Structure 1
Amino acid sequence: MEKHSKAEPLHILFFPFFAPGHMVPMVDLAKLFSSHGVKSTILTTHASAPLSQPTIDHFNSNSTHHHHLLPIIALQLVPFPSAEAGLPPGVENVVSVTTPEMRAKMIQAISLFRQPFDQILREQLIDAVITDNFFVWSSDAAAEFGVLRLVFSGSGVFNHCVGDNLLRYDPMSALQTEDETVVIPGLPHKIEMLRTQMLDPKKRPELWKLALDMREAAEKSFGDVVNSFYDLESHYVEHYRNFIGRRAWLVGPLSLYNRDVADNSRRGNKVSIDWDECLNWLDSKQPGSVLYVCFGTLSHISNAQLREIDASGKDFIWVVRDTEGGLDWLPEGLEERRGLIIRGWAPQILILNHTAVGAFLTHCGWNSCTEGVSAGVPLIIWPLFADQFYNEKVVVEIEKVGVAIGAKEFGFSLDTRSLIMADVIEKAVERVMGEGEEAAAVRKRARELRRRRRGRWKRVDHLLLI
C-alpha cells in the first residue's frame, strides 16, 4: 500500500460496534478528530447508518473551524451478514436483539466483518484505525497492513482496570455460594461487589472468553482511546498507565463536543419530542425540581417495576423505550399532573443541562454517567448489566456524586432482577433532591466536578494525535 504525500491529512477509519451506546460516542470522536484536520471514515452497516448519518451530515455542512475548511466525515456501508450468522433479516443492531440466542449470534457475526475490513485497508490509504474492543480480530488485521490500531470500548478507565484485574486474578473462581462478595484485587480503592452483580464466568463462559480475547487484542494494539476525563477517574488513570502498562488517551466527555441544539437533536436516533415543547415544560419548573428518568437504549423494564418508580412525588421527565404492553402501567392522569413522558429517543444532553433538572435516575451506562456528571446533575444509580455495576462504584463510592438504588442482580432479562419497591426509590430520590445534609453535599460535589470538567474542556480544546 502506497503512502500518501505529507500534504494530505491523516486518514483514520472508525469502526464502532452495532449498538447506540457504542456508535454515538464514536461518531462524536470522529467529529473531534475531523475538527483538527483528520480525514475520518466511519464503517457501519445499512441498518445502523441512521444512527450516524444526521450528525455526520450536520458536521459536514458546517465543516469550518477557525476559518479553515475541514475534511468531511465519510460513512462507508458494508452488508450485515445476517444469513451467515443465523439472524433474521434486518437484525443488524443490538437494539433489535430480543433473545439470548440472538445475542449470541450477534457476537458470532462480528468475526464475519474481517473480510470487508481487510478490503478497505487494502484499497484505501488508511493511517490508523480506531475499532471497538468487540472487534478483536481488527488488531491482527491492522498489523498485517502496517496500520496502527487504537481501541475504543465506550466505558471508562475504572472499568478497564476492574476487567483487567478480574481476568488477571480470577477471584470468582474460588467462590462457593451465590450470596458471596468479591473484593477486586490490586486496585487503589477497596472495591467490594456481590457475586450476583458481576459477570460470572461459570454461568456465561462464552462472554468470559470474549473478555479474555478482547484483553489479548488490546495488549497487541497501540493504545486505548477513552471517553472519560482525568478529574473523574484520576486514581485509575494512573493505575492503568503504571500498573497495567497500556497507553490511554482521555478524550471525554465526548458529549461536550455537541455544543448546540442542532448538534444534540441530530445525535443518535431521531428525537421523538419537539425540543421547544420540552424546553417550555422545563422552563415552567423551579430550579432543581425535576427528576429525569432514563434507562438507556437496551434496557427492558417490567410494568410492575415501572409502577414502583412513580413514588418520588417529584415533577419528572421520563423516557420510555420498551415496556411489556405500551403505557398500560401509567397511572391515570399522572402525566397531566406533573410529568412529561418521552416515548422514544430523548435529547438527553439538552435536558440534563437545564437548570430545572435536579437529579438523574439512570441505569448507569457510561455515556449517561459522563453526560450527567458533565451537567453537574447528581445521579441515582440503578445498574442492570454490562459495565453498569462497576460504573456505580465510580459515581457512588469514589467520586460521591450520586447514590445507589440497591440493585443486586446482573441480568439482561426481566426475570433475573428483583423488584425494587417504591419506598426504596423514594428514599434514594430524597437523598439527592431533599433538604438534608447528605443531599446538599452530593449536589455540591456534582457541581464542582462539572466546573472542573468544563473549565478544562474550554482551556484544552485539542486532541493529541499520534
Structure 2
Amino acid sequence: MTFASDAVAGNQKNSGRAHFVLVPLMAQGHTIPMTDMARLLAEHGAQVSFITTPVNASRMAEFINCIGAIGLPIQFVKLHFPATEFGLPDGCENVDMIKSKDLFKNFIEACAALREPLTAHLRAQIPPPSCIISDMTHWWTADIARELGTPRLTFSGFCGFSSLVRYIIIRDNLLEKVEDENELINFPGFPTPLELPKARCPGNLSVHGLDQIRKNIYEEEIRCSGVVMNTFHDLEDLYIDSFEQISGKKVWTVGPMCLCNQDSKTVAARGNNASMDEAQCIQLLDSMKPGSVIFVSFGSLACTAPHQVVELGLGLEASKKPFIWVIKAGDKFPEVEKWLAEGFEERVKDRGIIIRGWAPQIMILWHQAIGGFMTHCGWNSTIEGICAGVPMITWPHFAEQFLNERLVVDVLRTGVEVGVKGVTQWGDEQKEARVTRDDVEIAVSKLMDQGEAADEMRMRARDFGLKATKALKKGGSSSNNIDLLIQEMGRKTSG
C-alpha cells in the first residue's frame, strides 16, 4: 500500500513539470543528500516524487512538514517495507537498525521487493516520470525505468575522486586476486599518483551472499543513462572529467547539495533527536573565540569502541584546545558514560562540550568559533566541512573514506591525517585502539596552532568554501547543471 504526503495538492496542476523520482538507500548518509537533491530540483522547477517507507518518513517528519509549508512540489511516497518477510525485525527499515552486517543482504533484498508496488504507483502518476535517480545499490530500479521508458541515473554519494577509483577497481577486477590485505593497489588510468592497500579500498567489505547483488549493481551501472554527484566542478574537475572519459557516462555535478538546507528548520529535520538543542549549542559556541574550537564527529554508522573513545578523549584533553565532541558508542555506551563520569567531563567542563547522539552538524561547522573538524571522512561530512571553509583532521573508518582522506590531504591540502593504523569495517567490533591519545594531540596541534603551514591550510579551506557557495548560486556550475538536467530529462519525456 502506498501513501502520499500533502506536499503536492494534486498531480494535475504540476502536469507541465519535468517529474523526477528519487529512490535513496535507507541509510542516513544516503538519504540526507537525496532530500537535499529533492529540494534543489523542486526549487529549480521540477516535480519530485521521493520514495521512502513509514519508519524513514517518521524520521523525516520535520523535513516533510517544512517542505509542505514552503509549498515545494515534492511528493513523499511511503511504501510498505517487507522487513519480516525477509528475515528482518519488524520495523527494521534503515541500515542503522540492522544488528548484524550478515543481515545486510536481507535488507537489500527487501528493498528490491519494492519494485512492483513502486512500478504500480508510478504508472498512475500524471505527469509520468521523466527520470529515475536511484542509489546505485537499487539496481532493480533500472527494470522499472526500462518498463516505463524513462532514463535512470545513479547516485552513490561518492565524490568524483572516489567514484573514479571505484570504477577502475570494478572495471579491472583489481581486488579479486589480491589475498594480502596490505598489498598496495595501483589504479590504471587514474590521473594523479595514488596507491592504497587493499584493505583501504572501496568494495572490500566482506558480507556473505552479496556476490550476485554486486554483479547486478555493476551491470546496471554500466547501462545507466548517467551519474549524479554531490560535488562541484571547481573542487575536483580533473577527476570528474576523467570519470566521464573513462566511463563514457555523463556526470551531473549538482553539489554541494547541503547548502540548500541551511535554514534552521530544515537543518534540524535532517537528523534525529539531539541531546542538546541548537540554542544551547549556539550559546556555548558564542562564548568561545573565533576559530578556536575543534569539532569532532564520526557520522551515523561508525560506532567507536569504548577504549578508542577514551584515547580520543584523553588526546583532546591533552591538546588544551576547546572542543565539541559528538559521542556514539552503540550498545556499549554505558561504558563510555562511566568513564566520562569518573572525572573527564569535570576536568574539561570549561572548554569541552560533549553531545550524545545526533548533533546539528551544519550549524556547528558554520559557527565562527569552529577552527577545525575531526571527521570520519564520509563524503557528506567532508563536503559539509568544505562548504564551511573549515580545515580537517581525517580519521577514516571504512568504505571510500580512505579515498576521501587522500583527496582532502593530498589534493585539496586542507587537512592532516590523525594516523589511522587499521581499518574498522562497518559491522565489525574494534578490538584495539587504532589511534593513540598522542596521535590525537599531535594532529590537533598541527591543525589548530599558528604557523605558515597551518595558516596556508586555513586559507585554502576558506577559498574552497567560497567556491562551494558560488557553485550553487544562480549562474554557478552546479546551479546551471541542475537547470540543464531538468531541461534534458524533460525533453526526453516529451520527445
Q: Do they fold alike, i.e. is TM over 0.5?
A: yes
Q: CA deviation at 1:457?
A: 2.6
Note closer, same or farther for the CA distance 1:200–1:75 as it changes in structure 2 (3 Å cut). Answer: closer
Q: Any residues of structure 2 matched to 1:110-189 within 5 Å, and which?
A: 110-124=111-125, 125-189=128-192
Q: Any residues of structure 2 matched to 1:252-267 within 5 Å, and which?
A: 252-267=255-270
Question: Structure 1 residue 404 and structure 2 residue 412: aligned?
Answer: no
The answer to whether the 8 Å contact 1:411/1:417 transfers is: no
Structure 1 residue runs without a partner (length 5+): 64-69
Q: Any residues of structure 2 matched to 1:28-43 within 5 Å, and which?
A: 28-43=36-51
- Equivalent of residue 235 in structure 1, options 238, 243, 247: 238
Question: Structure 1 residue 319 and structure 2 residue 326: aligned?
Answer: yes
Note closer, same or farther for the CA distance 1:25–1:6 as it changes in structure 2 (3 Å cut). Answer: closer
Deviation digits for residues 166-208 of structure 1 (CA, Å, limit 9, x no counterpart): 0112233443533321122210011111222235669557556
Q: State the AA in 1 paired with 2:33.
A: P
Note closer, same or farther for the CA distance 1:393–1:212 as it changes in structure 2 (3 Å cut). Answer: farther
Counterpart in the other structure of 2:492:
none
Query: Which segment is superposed worse, 445-454 or 285-294?
Result: 445-454
Q: Any residues of structure 2 matched to 1:3-402 within 5 Å, and which?
A: 8-63=16-71, 70-71=72-73, 73-124=74-125, 125-199=128-202, 203-204=206-207, 206-207=209-210, 210-310=213-313, 311=315, 312-323=319-330, 324-326=332-334, 327-330=337-340, 331-402=344-415
Query: Which segment is superposed worse, 25-34 or 100-109?
Result: 100-109
Measured in 2, the distance between the counterparts of 1:409 and 1:150 equals 31
Note closer, same or farther for the CA distance 1:200–1:19 as it changes in structure 2 (3 Å cut). Answer: closer
Deviation digits for residues 243-292 of structure 1 (CA, Å, limit 9, x no counterpart): 22101111111110013222212223244422111111111111111110
Measured in 1, the distance between the counterparts of 2:171 and 2:282 equals 48
Q: CA deviation at 1:423?
A: 0.4
Q: State the AA in 1 paired with 2:352.
A: G
- Identity fraction in percent: 35
Q: CA deviation at 1:30?
A: 0.6
Measured in 2, the distance between the counterparts of 1:11 and 1:288 equals 43
Q: CA deviation at 1:76?
A: 1.0
Residues matched between the structures, number: 457
Counterpart in the other structure of 2:435:
420
Please tell me the root mean square deviation across aligned C-alpha atoms, in Å: 2.2
Q: State the AA in 2 paired with 1:318.
A: W
Counterpart in the other structure of 2:7:
none
Measured in 2, the distance between the counterparts of 1:207 and 1:433 equals 43
Q: CA deviation at 1:333?
A: 0.6
Q: State the AA in 2 paired with 1:230.
A: H
Measured in 2, the distance between the counterparts of 1:5 and 1:290 equals 49
Counterpart in the other structure of 2:491:
none
Query: Which segment is superposed worse, 97-106 or 187-196?
Result: 97-106
The answer to whether the 8 Å contact 2:135/2:155 transfers is: yes
Q: State the AA in 2 paired with 1:430.
A: S
- Equivalent of residue 451 in structure 1, options 445, 451, 466: 466
Counterpart in the other structure of 1:433:
448
The answer to whether the 8 Å contact 1:404/1:428 transfers is: yes
Structure 2 residue runs without a partner (length 5+): 1-10, 489-495
The answer to whether the 8 Å contact 2:182/2:197 transfers is: yes
Measured in 2, the distance between the counterparts of 1:197 and 1:269 equals 30
- SS of the equivalent of 2:162 reads helix
- The higher-RCO structure (CA 8 Å, 6+ apart) is 2
Q: State the AA in 1 paired with 2:256.
A: P
Note closer, same or farther for the CA distance 1:13–1:455 as it changes in structure 2 (3 Å cut). Answer: closer
| Greater fraction of residues in helix | 2
- SS of the equivalent of 1:40 reads strand
Measured in 1, the distance between the counterparts of 2:111 and 2:100 equals 17
Q: CA deviation at 1:428?
A: 1.2
